[in-house]
Amino acid sequence: MLDKKVVELLNQQVNKELYSAYLYLDFSNYYYDEGLDGFGNWYKIQAQEERDHAMLFVQYLQNNGEKVVLEAIDKPAVALTSAKVVLEEGLKHEQYVTSLIHAIYDAAYSVKDFRTMQFLDWFVKEQGEEETNAEGLIKKFDLFGGDPKSLYMLDNELGARVYSAPSLVL
């Protein structure tokens, strides 16, 4: 049996990860509409990764005999006003998700729930990587986004991203 508060937060995280997937699908659709298919591809894969994250939380709860409670997923609440703004919103969102993961870690730590802390270690690292990736996209856009030829090449680079399943197996 896991601590009640920890279970509540793990369940909420299923919803947050699914919302992340929904948000990034919205980002992806925005870029496809703008003719930036490579950016669209990058965020479509990001959406897939977020669904994977949700499923890892589901699996962890089930592995521990806890009930999974699914709530409604909010409508994506970000105004997609420009290619750059979307990237900035992506970084902000990842920073928010990092804070959520840390809050679950904190709750697990306070009740000496070492199993959940170990499970979350992968997510702590993953969030670090995702923030770095989001920052990298903004930097690249600042460098190359202003010139159509460079933007075309950057879009091609992002179009080459392929999906790979998460390295965490439960």
The footprint of ligand FEO (CB under 6 A) covers 17, 20, 50, 53, 94, 97, 130
Residue nearer to ligand FEO on the CB measure, 45 or 150? 45
Residue nearer to ligand FEO on the CB measure, 74 or 147? 74
Cβ 152 to ligand FEO, closest distance in Å?
28
Residue nearer to ligand FEO on the CB measure, 17 or 26? 17
Mapping DSSP onto H, E and C, the string for 22-90 reads HHHHHHHHHHHHHCCHHHHHHHHHHHHHHHHHHHHHHHHHHHCCCCCCCCCCCCCCCCCCCHHHHHHHH
Cβ 149 to ligand FEO, closest distance in Å?
31
Cβ 94 to ligand FEO, closest distance in Å?
5
Cβ 53 to ligand FEO, closest distance in Å?
4
Alpha-carbon distance values, 72 to 58, 112, 114 (Å): 15, 31, 30
Residue nearer to ligand FEO on the CB measure, 50 or 155? 50
Residue nearer to ligand FEO on the CB measure, 97 or 104? 97
In contact, 20 and 135? CB cutoff 8 Å: no
Q: Where are the alpha helices (DSSP H) in 77-147?
A: 83-110, 114-144
The contacts of residue 90 (CB under 8 Å, 6+ apart) are 24, 27, 43, 46, 134, 137
Cβ 54 to ligand FEO, closest distance in Å?
8
Q: Of all residues in this chain, which one has the CB nearest to ligand FEO in the complex?
A: 53
